[in-house]
Amino acid sequence: MELRQAAAGRYRKKTRVSLLGHLKRIFRFMVLVLLAALLWVGWIQYRIETQADTGQEPKQVGIVLGASLWKDSPSPALKERLDRAVELYQSGRVPYLIVSGGYDVPTSKMTEAEGMRNYLVSKGIPSKRIVLENRARSTYENLLYSKKIMEQHQWTSAVIITHRYHSVRALDIANYLDYEEPAVSPMESRVLMMAWHRGRETLAMTKWQWDKVALVFGVAPKS
């Protein structure tokens, strides 16, 4: 009886030690995952913060990435992108503009591209200098469909016009799509809650890394 009790005691002790070892390994793994996540977030935010304005040299076309319309007019944030496009056009750095964006919601009366075109025309840019891309519903599609328009017009150089928080991913997508030395003209926003948008962009940038893997297998990114 005593031998059985002693054996049972040793078994329970061994089980506790084994369980404690498993818990320690799980804890170490979770710490490593957390550290990796913090490094990834920090790296993305660093890249956003240090993204240079490479759109100073003349390009054949500027690509304005779409955002929401408010009652068929550009939202305040979208106006910031469009005002930068006006600046680039008026300074002679781009002779043409592609405005890219489809229907924001199914009930929209016009595409983002149409709303952007109307705003640019109201700022004095001739409509013949504006090319509409009406299908895109994501940044990937913005740049994919805009590249096809560039090929149709035999344009080879472009500057991407968007906010700073969005510029790193947009430029990465353009490079993935084999744009020829794409430039970006990023601007800060005075109307957006940047803590929210930069945090959201971290998730979007993470998703884009998975999208690149999916594209290898022929799976297009979802909007």
Segment 34-49, tens digit of pLDDT: 998 899 999 999 999 9
Specify the 3-state DSSP secondary structure of 103: coil
Q: Which fold has domain 61-202?
A: Rossmann fold (3.40.50)
Does position 29 have pLDDT exceeding 90, yes or no? Answer: no
- Dihedral (CA of 72, 77, 83, 85) sign: negative
73-74 and 69-70: which strand pairing? antiparallel
C-alpha gyration radius of the chain: 25
For position 33, what pLDDT does the model report?
87
Q: How far apart are CA 14 and CA 66, in angstroms?
A: 62
149: nearest Cα among 81, 64, 223, 208: 64
Specify the 3-state DSSP secondary structure of 58: coil
For position 147, what pLDDT does the model report?
98
Segment 44-97, tens digit of pLDDT: 999 999 999 999 999 999 999 999 999 889 999 999 999 999 999 999 999 999
Does position 20 have pLDDT exceeding 90, yes or no? Answer: no
Q: Are 114 and 134 in contact (CB under 8 A)?
A: yes
Q: How many CB atoms lie within 10 A of CB 95?
A: 14
Q: How far apart are CA 93 and CA 87, in angstroms?
A: 9
Query: What pLDDT band is residue 25 in, cutting at 50, 70 and 90?
Result: confident
For position 59, what pLDDT does the model report?
98
Q: Which strands, in side-by-side order, build the sheet including 158-163?
A: 130-133, 97-100, 61-65, 158-163, 183-187
For position 1, what pLDDT does the model report?
54
Segment 99-156, tens digit of pLDDT: 999 998 878 889 999 999 999 999 999 999 999 999 999 999 999 999 999 999 999 9
Q: pTM of the predicted model, to two decimals?
A: 0.86
66: nearest Cα among 79, 55, 52: 79
Using H for helix, E for strand and C for coil, what is the string for 82-114? HHHHHHHHHCCCCCCEEEECCCCCCCCCCCHHH
Does position 221 have pLDDT exceeding 90, yes or no? Answer: no
Query: What pLDDT band is residue 183 in, cutting at 50, 70 and 90?
Result: very high
Residue boundaries of the structural domains of the chain: 1-50, 61-202
Query: What pLDDT band is residue 14 in, cutting at 50, 70 and 90?
Result: low
